Amino acid sequence: MSTTTELQLLMFAQIGIDIIIIVVFIFVIRRLRYANKGKSFDKTVKMLESLFTDADKIAQQFKVQLEEKHHLIKRLNEQLDKRVGSLNGLLQRADALLSSHAQQAADAECDPLSLNSQERQIIALAGEGCDLEKIAKRLSIPKEEVKLVLDLKQKLSQIGKEEGLS
């Protein structure tokens, strides 16, 4: 059951209790017309006073519960809005990364030995004397990826030297 439905049920319950109290009050008033005056009248009045006091307490408790539910719903709604916003941001970043990787895959398919821009940046930064951690941090990529690119570059250059000597 949703919290809105629960709130509606609580409001209907409070209205129902109020109607029952009014009916009981009317019934007691009619009985008082025919009742003997004196002690029984005083007892009835005291009973009605306690009944109305209890009814008032119950109504106040319902009011407090309704306010708590309302505040809870507001807070949950705000949290949900924040989460939806962050999820939308993540979704946009994922879409951007997906299209970027799709483009890189298409580029690699055309010429498997050509370097993409990120690999060129890694090699350029390594040529400037940056270490693995600095390159990974600057380009916001994993250290292992930087190491892989530099190792492959080194192996390819060794292969090229060996083929040039043969």
Give the CA distances from residue 91 to residues 3, 78, 79, 94, 155, in Å, rounded to whole numbers and listed in that order: 29, 20, 18, 5, 38
**What is the spatial distance between Cα 117 and Cα 54, in angstroms, rounded to a whole number?**
77
Domain count within the chain: 2
Domain boundary among 63, 78, 110: 110
Count how many residues are written for the chain.
166
The pLDDT, as a whole number, for residue 35 is 57
* Residues above pLDDT 90, as percent of the chain: 13
pLDDT in tens, 37-56: 556 767 877 888 888 888 88
* Confidence bin at 34 (pLDDT 50/70/90): low
* Confidence bin at 104 (pLDDT 50/70/90): low
For residue 25, how many other CB atoms are within 10 A of its CB?
A: 14
Whether 133 and 93 map to the same domain: the answer is no
CATH code of 149's domain: 1.10.10
**What is the spatial distance between Cα 154 and Cα 166, in angstroms, rounded to a whole number?**
19
Structure tokens at 120: 């060129």
